[in-house]
């Protein structure tokens, strides 16, 4: 038997879920808040995953890479290499018998390649006449907005290894 208030052509579910078709496209506050909460939670979990991956998986970010034999680079000479990937050019300068410095070879202004000038003792960018300190990577003049990223070096068994990038220097 059919209920008295239901018409013959209307299905039973329309009586139990009385939704007017005009209101079906409108999102109410509860639905919107639920969506924002779940989206925010998902982004928070994603950021935690990225942070934990960065903390616990530093080896994959900055692999140990052999650059050169320590005695193969003369004092005041330059060695070009790529680190941490083949797409990242770097420059290393031997400043004294036991001291080496290495930086990204991309200027922090417009990514022009920088070079070492023995005449000035600085790392220079020919594009816009910027220059950087050889010992710290700090900007000495020109338009570069920040210092060159420093490549962390390690000397082991007569070899020079790149082991990371000094983020604090950037």
* 74 and 121, same domain (yes or no): yes
How much is the pLDDT for 108?
Answer: 92
**Of 82, 74, 146, nearest in space to 133 by CA:** 146
Q: Give the pLDDT score at 58.
A: 58
Q: How far apart are CA 124 and CA 139, in angstroms?
A: 10
Residue 46 belongs to a domain: yes
**44 and 110 housed in the same domain:** no
**Would residue 52 count as lying in a domain?**
yes
**Which whole-number Å values give the CA distances from 109 to 40, 124, 130, in the listed order?**
35, 12, 9
Same domain, 160 and 132: yes
pLDDT of 93: 96
Beta bridge partners of 17: none
Q: Is residue 117 part of a domain?
A: yes
Whether residues 47 and 65 share a domain: the answer is: no
The pTM score is 0.65
Average pLDDT score over the chain:
86
pLDDT at 1: 46
Domain that holds residue 22: 12-56
Q: Give the gyration radius of the chain's Cα atoms.
A: 30
Q: 128: domain CATH number?
A: 2.102.10.10
- Bridge-partner residues for 131, per DSSP? 124, 141
Least confident window among 15-19, 49-53, 165-169: 15-19
Cβ partners under 8 Å of residue 104, min gap 6: 88, 89, 90, 91, 148, 149, 151, 165
33 and 87 belong to one structural domain:
no
Q: Are residues 74 and 42 in the same domain?
A: no
Q: How sure is the predictor about 17, in pLDDT bands with cuts at 50, 70 and 90?
A: low
Q: Does residue 37 share a domain with residue 79?
A: no
pLDDT at 20 over 70: no
**What pLDDT, in 10s, does the model give residues 97-150?**
989 999 999 999 999 999 999 999 999 999 999 999 999 999 999 999 999 999
pLDDT on residue 18? 58
Number of domains the chain contains: 2
Residue-wise pLDDT for 25-70, tens only, equals 677 888 889 999 999 999 999 999 998 887 776 555 688 899 999 8
Judgement on whether residues 86 and 65 belong to the same structural domain of the protein: yes
Is the domain of 114 the same as that of 49?
A: no
Three-state secondary structure string covering the chain: CCCCCCCCCCCHHHHHCCCCHHHCCCCCHHHHHHHHHHHHHHHHHHHHHHHHHHHHCHHHHCCCEEEEEHHHCCCCCEEEEECCCCCCEEEEEEEECCEEEEEECECCCCCCECEEECCCCEEEECCCCEEEECCCCCEEECCCCCCCCEEEEEEECCEEEEEEEEHHHC
In the prediction, which pLDDT does 62 show?
A: 82
pLDDT at 4 over 60: no
């Amino acid at each position: 038997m059919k209920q008295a208030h239901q018409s013959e052509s209307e299905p039973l579910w329309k009586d139990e879920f009385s939704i007017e078709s005009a209101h079906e496209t409108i999102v109410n506050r509860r639905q919107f808040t639920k969506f924002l909460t779940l989206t925010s939670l998902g982004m928070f979990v994603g950021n935690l995953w990225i942070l934990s991956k960065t903390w616990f998986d530093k080896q994959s970010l900055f692999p140990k890479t052999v650059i050169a034999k320590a005695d193969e680079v003369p004092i005041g000479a330059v060695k070009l290499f790529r680190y941490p990937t083949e797409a990242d050019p770097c420059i290393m300068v031997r400043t004294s018998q036991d001291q080496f410095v290495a930086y990204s070879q991309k200027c922090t202004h417009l990514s022009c390649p920088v070079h070492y000038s023995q005449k000035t003792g600085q790392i220079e960018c020919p594009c816009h006449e910027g220059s950087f300190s050889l010992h710290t990577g700090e900007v000495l003049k020109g338009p570069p907005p920040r210092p060159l990223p420093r490549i962390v070096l390690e000397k082991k068994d007569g070899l020079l290894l790149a082991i990371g990038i000094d983020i604090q220097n950037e």
